[in-house]
Amino acid sequence: MFNRMIQNTRKPEGFLGRMMLRGMNAGHASLADWGFSFLTIPQGAHVLDVGCGGGANIAKILRDMPDSVVDGLDYSDQSVAYSRRTNAAHLGERCTIRQGDVASLPYPDGSLDLVTAFETVYFWPDLDAAFTEIRRVLKADGRLFICCEADDPSDTTWTDRIEGMTVHRGEDLERRLVDLGFREVQVHRNDRGWMCLTAVRGI
């Protein structure tokens, strides 16, 4: 049962997927709080949370930044449905949550102030394609924010169990982002092995 459930980390489906999403919303709260301490969100920002899961981080930004618009995108229809329920009070006016692919974002060039990605880059099959697409939709000086519990590829505790999961070191992500036109990349860690990264879209 446990092994079946943790496969839903990648793409939540069915009853076990709903259980996983509920657990993610609660279990990742401390990670999110820590990560948000490195992130400044301007008033009136248009934010996209990629791999939004159960929608807890969307809810936090909507609550903390009352002038913001915060959208969500996930390739799991179960995640989209759960995230919509979590943020039902704001759907339409301040929030749109839809199914989609990080490598093909449904936004015009230069339209977003911030893209966030919590516990999701592990499952992106083509990082360069995803980062290139994120750069496209960000405004000049727009920011990308990545936050992960796992940062050490040599620790295979979870990658041995979860199909399609790859752990990336912050510095490896940094090099990719710089090569793709991002600047001011900063990597932060804590003593629990968590990693978050901020980057600014280059001109």
Using a 10 angstrom Cβ sphere, with 0-12 exposed, 13-18 middle and 19 or more buried, the burial of residue 157 is exposed
Strands 195-201 and 138-148: antiparallel
Q: Is 63 helix (H, G, I), strand (E, B) or coil?
A: helix
Domain locations in the chain as residue ranges: 2-201
pLDDT of amino acid 97: 98
Q: Which two tokens stand for residue 182?
A: 């991002």
pLDDT of amino acid 158: 82
Pick the CATH number of 2-201 from 3.40.50.150, 3.30.565.10, 3.40.50.1000, 3.30.450.40: 3.40.50.150
DSSP string, 153-172: TT--TTTTTSTT-----HHH
pLDDT of amino acid 161: 81
Cα–Cα distance between 44 and 113 in angstroms, integer? 9
Span of 19-23, 75-79, 142-146 with lowest mean pLDDT: 19-23
Cα–Cα distance between 192 and 149 in angstroms, integer? 8
Using a 10 angstrom Cβ sphere, with 0-12 exposed, 13-18 middle and 19 or more buried, the burial of residue 9 is buried
Q: What is the pLDDT of residues 103-162, one digit of tens each?
A: 999 999 999 999 999 999 999 999 999 999 999 999 999 999 999 999 999 999 888 888
CB 95 within 8 A of CB 31: no
